[in-house]
Amino acid sequence: MYPDQHALDQTIDGLPADAMTDAAHKAIAPVIAALRAGSTPDEAFEQLLAAVPQMDETAIAELLARCIFVADVWGRLNAG
């Protein structure tokens, strides 16, 4: 096993999965709802900005990028 992979595995295992999942759901729920309602991606992003007014566009973009990264890694690890 590679040492960096082992460190990554330990870090992932140590993350509070329920808390992360809840936070991600709350953060992206307005985007998902808007897209399901037929909004454009730009409209969905505007709804997210309105739902989380304390975050600026850069912070929200970073949050969404992290959510996408986590979803991608999670999918790759669990694709069986």
Q: Tens place of pLDDT for every residue, the chain, 80 residues?
A: 677 778 777 777 776 667 667 766 776 777 778 778 888 888 877 877 787 788 788 887 887 787 778 778 878 877 75
Task: Enumerate residues 6+ apart whose C-beta is below 8 A from 27.
Answer: 48, 52, 63, 64, 67
What is the SS3 assignment for 17? helix
Distance of CA 15 to the CA centre of its chain: 14
What Rg, from alpha-carbon coordinates, does the chain have? Answer: 15
Q: Are 9 and 21 in contact (CB under 8 A)?
A: no
Domain definitions of the chain by residue range: 17-78
pTM of the model: 0.48
pLDDT of 34 reads: 79
